[in-house]
Structure 1
Amino acid sequence: MRCRGRGTRRAWVLVSDQPPRSSKLSALLPDLTPWRSVRDFRLLWTQGLVTYFGSFMAMVALPLQIKELTDSPLAVGAMGAVELVPLVVCGLYGGALADAVDRRRVILWTEAGLGGLALILFVNALLPSPLLWPLYVVAAGVSGLAGLQRPALDSLLARIVPHNQLTAAAALNALRWNAGAIAGPALAGVVVAYAGHATAYAVTVVGFAVSVAMCTRLAPAPPAHDAVKPSLRGLAEGAAYAWSRPVLLGTYAVDMAAMFFAFPNTVFPFLADELDAPWSLGLMYAAGAVGSLFCSLTSGWTSRVRRHGLLVVAGAAGWGLAIAAAGWFSNVWLVLVCLAAAGAGDMVSGLGRSTIWNQTIPDALRGRLAGIEVLSYSVGPQLGQLRAGAAAGWTGTRTAIWTGGAACVLSVAALTAALPKLLTYDADTDEDAVRRRDAAAV
């Protein structure tokens, strides 16, 4: 899309060129180039699909089991508190580790560890009287291992996928995530209701076993020849780089604020009860992924986007508005529609963040910056769970949800005003993006 008249581009113009009419439909479909051309990307994509399916089964079963054992919103929200410290420590260390060792080994061993923790949940669920404390211990362990693993996964993508295919790869990864996020929670609600928590955890164990087998087929991803051992100095170097780049800082801050104020998943079991629709719990967990999946299936246009900062801001604001509406409505079907719209907004924002990170961060710092990204991507939801649980206990479930959505919109507006360079980011002219593209072409 181009402006008429003088031919100048305006800030709201995202897509560089309008495709011919005959190709409009095909232009919306996902760009499969990374899948066709990169073997390791295909392996990671398939491995991730299997893992996500099992993980989302456990994601629904675990808070629901805590609810059944305690009947307390705060006890469910406390999962976020016990997960926070392991996530922060292991996320930062995992970023430094990803720059210093073979990234494939990090992914393989953490995946095996996650499977072992799922096995603990399975054994605990088989007890005549399942214990509460192992659920929190496993939640903390999962958070720590995920913190170690995610920087290696994120930093590996930019190494194996060509620079001009990074947005397409991010969209395909989102499509994979959404498939697991829809099927996992939707089936988990049914499985837990009719077959029990143990069966849901058993599916998770099997999924991780298959995933580990696939990870062994990945090509080695050794560190750079001048890589240094993980250290506080190295972490400080990565943090200083992020702090000196307002665009990167804006992506982290906007995402963290959006998740802190408007991540209500932890109170979904109570929302379903309040709406007199306990059958809808699995659909609530899956609804966001439905909206995100719709965006993934129509993501072909994102390969032509150049103003990715606008995607970050617009998507985060849309997420907050939709969450606020979900808390306001009392009709369960309208709530589900709003949650789907929130997922679509999160998908748009996520594509913008991922592309900016992969287009601008040097490979030597990618692991450490991915560790910082873990904090912005994950600490926000963990704190958001605690906020939502505590607010629901004080003000009621629906009030906690809609006020959080409104606070999200206000915080995104404030951060955008404070960091204007995020809105002006252009992949064709940004110095870091041009430098990274030239380095990848060598």
Structure 2
Amino acid sequence: MVSEALNDHNFPEAATITAPEPAPAPEPDRRSWLSRHTIDVRPLRHAAFRRMFIGQAVSFFGVQFTAVAVPVQMFALTKSSAWVGYLGIAGLVPLLIFALWGGAVADAFDRRLVLLCSSLLMWVSTLGLLAQGLLDVGSPVLLLVLVAVQSVAFAVSSPARWSIVPRIIPTAEIAAANTLNTTLSGLAMVGGPLGAGLLIAHFPLVTAYAVDAALFTVTLWAALRLPPVPPERTERTTGALADVLFGLRYLATTPVLLLSFAIDIAAMVFAMPRALFPQAAVERFGGMSAVGWLFSAIAIGAVIAGLTSGWIGRVRRQGTALIAAVVVWGLSVAAAGLAHSLWLAVLLLAVGGAADLVSSVYRQSILQVYAPDELRGRMQGVFTAVVVGGPRLGDLRSGLMAQGFGLTVTWAGGGLAAAVVAVALAVAFPALRRYAMK
């Protein structure tokens, strides 16, 4: 299937390359160098992808305001990093259940309709966060419930969104599209937390929820403007449990995808320090004014890596590159956990963020090319459970460990463990490191 997809798109750009003109002007060479080393924007030529890209970029910026405001509010209410870690469980349990089901639904019905309905649910949950803030309810349990509802909506919308991408752009541009999406998400994760930090420092925390609710309307507009994306096959699934189990059986027989998920789980569960940021800001970096920089640091590195990512699509041994990126991520996070200077911690987390972008692009691209269309929704559902569930488990691990082992051991030790586990999996199971694009 992979070879057929590639043959359908015979890289027309390469077919039009001719010998250089004898003119001495150096401008064509400069353009060629830039095209090889800067971010590839070819997918934006496709109107459907461009709309979805704009909607995701704007709304994800707003989502970051909530991503900062909820743990800050939880810590303010409880004075406990463990309660901040419980937010991870509140998001994880519905994610694991509904991501798998949402992927089956995306394979059974029009993916545009699934995306629109689930986006509406996420918007309603954000309005709930805004309402509890305005009413000054002050309930940690209510925060957990609203986070769980958001997780349900995300778990259904994400498989639909990502499985739409291979249907609206050529296969040759999938890696570039994933890099664009990941880089813009990184930009949002830089500007969003920094903006949230400034907002929370000068205005009531509830303002952050209002920003998210307002910006999320762009996602609804983008989903409405997408073309219908019905299932390609004539024999449709129903989104029932049998379809979910069929997808899991397929995954169990596909070592490349299975290992890519396993390494990502290790990277996020052991090395994600996010739940420690409020505590680190207070105890190590001088107060809550530092929390925005900590939440933004990983994304800063991802953005820099994305803007210089022209080389990513040319790497053939994508499995080996994915493993190497996860090792760099773990070691960078471990070093950041030892830093007592805010700016050194931000720099080291940024290095980790650059590595995380590389691993994320390759995981997504391998899945979208490797899995057949009739299973892409279900594989994206598993991918969503891994990509979002891993950090949620990481939040729980770090939040609980910090209570008994302290900030430094929890943070630095987790990063080192992630690097060691990634190497061990790559050595014990060679399928992923042998994977190469054809």
Determine if the TM-score, normalized by the shorter chain, exceeds 0.5.
Answer: yes
Residue type of the alignment partner of 2:80: S
Select the residue among 227, 232, 235 that pairs with 2:241.
232
1:307 is matched with which residue?
A: 317
When residues 229 and 393 of structure 1 are mapped into structure 2, their CA distance, relative to the original with a 3 A threshold, is same
Q: Displacement of 1:302 after TM fit? A: 1.4
Contact 2:59 2:217 (C-alpha < 8 Å) held by counterparts: no
1:112 is matched with which residue?
A: 120
Is 1:403 paired with 2:387?
Answer: no
Select the residue among 278, 291, 310 that pairs with 2:301.
291
Is 1:177 paired with 2:185?
Answer: yes
Question: Aligned to 1:27, what secondary structure does the other structure show?
Answer: helix
Q: Deviations over 1:308-342 (max 9, x none)?
A: 11221011111100010011121111111111011
Select the residue among 79, 87, 91 that pairs with 1:71.
79
Q: Displacement of 1:129 after TM fit? A: 4.8
- Runs (4 or more) in structure 1 with deviation over 6 Å come to 19-22
For residues 411 and 63 of structure 2, the distance between their equivalents in structure 1, rounded to whole angstroms, comes to 25
Q: Deviations over 1:319-373 (max 9, x none)?
A: 1000100111211111111110110110011111111111111001111111111
Contact 1:271 1:398 (C-alpha < 8 Å) held by counterparts: no
Select the residue among 260, 265, 268 that pairs with 2:269.
260
Q: How do 1:158-177 and structure 2 match up within 5 A?
A: 158-177=166-185
Q: Displacement of 1:397 after TM fit? A: 1.3
Is 1:81 paired with 2:71?
Answer: no
1:345 is matched with which residue?
A: 355
Q: Displacement of 1:20 after TM fit? A: 7.0
Q: How do 1:125-274 and structure 2 match up within 5 A?
A: 125-224=133-232, 225-274=234-283
Is 1:336 paired with 2:346?
Answer: yes
The CA RMSD over aligned residues, in Å, is 1.4
Q: TM-score, normalised by structure 1?
A: 0.90
Is 1:276 paired with 2:293?
Answer: no
Q: TM-score, normalised by structure 2?
A: 0.91
When residues 20 and 301 of structure 1 are mapped into structure 2, their CA distance, relative to the original with a 3 A threshold, is farther
Select the residue among 312, 316, 320 that pairs with 2:326.
316
Instruction: Could you tell me which runs of 5 or more consecutive residues in structure 2 were left unpaired when the two chains were aligned.
Output: 1-27
Q: Deviations over 1:104-130 (max 9, x none)?
A: 111111111111111111111112453
When residues 128 and 246 of structure 1 are mapped into structure 2, their CA distance, relative to the original with a 3 A threshold, is closer
Q: Deviations over 1:220-275 (max 9, x none)?
A: 11123212111222112211211111111111000011100011101100011121
Contact 2:336 2:344 (C-alpha < 8 Å) held by counterparts: yes
Higher mean C-alpha displacement, 271-280 vs 341-350: 271-280
Residue type of the alignment partner of 2:239: P
Q: Displacement of 1:132 after TM fit? A: 2.3
Q: Displacement of 1:23 after TM fit? A: 3.2
For residues 170 and 221 of structure 1, the distance between their equivalents in structure 2, rounded to whole angstroms, comes to 19
For residues 248 and 276 of structure 1, the distance between their equivalents in structure 2, rounded to whole angstroms, comes to 40
For residues 285 and 231 of structure 2, the distance between their equivalents in structure 1, rounded to whole angstroms, comes to 54
For residues 242 and 137 of structure 2, the distance between their equivalents in structure 1, rounded to whole angstroms, comes to 48
Q: Displacement of 1:408 after TM fit? A: 0.2
1:96 is matched with which residue?
A: 104
Residue type of the alignment partner of 2:244: L
Q: Displacement of 1:213 after TM fit? A: 2.0
For residues 374 and 327 of structure 1, the distance between their equivalents in structure 2, rounded to whole angstroms, comes to 27
Question: Aligned to 1:167, what secondary structure does the other structure show?
Answer: helix
Aligned residues: 409
Question: Aligned to 1:299, what secondary structure does the other structure show?
Answer: coil
Contact 1:308 1:355 (C-alpha < 8 Å) held by counterparts: no
Instruction: Could you tell me which runs of 5 or more consecutive residues in structure 1 were left unpaired when the two chains were aligned.
Output: 1-18, 429-442
Contact 2:109 2:230 (C-alpha < 8 Å) held by counterparts: yes
Residue type of the alignment partner of 1:268: F
Is 1:425 paired with 2:435?
Answer: yes
Residue type of the alignment partner of 2:92: L
Q: Displacement of 1:292 after TM fit? A: 0.3
Q: Displacement of 1:21 after TM fit? A: 7.9
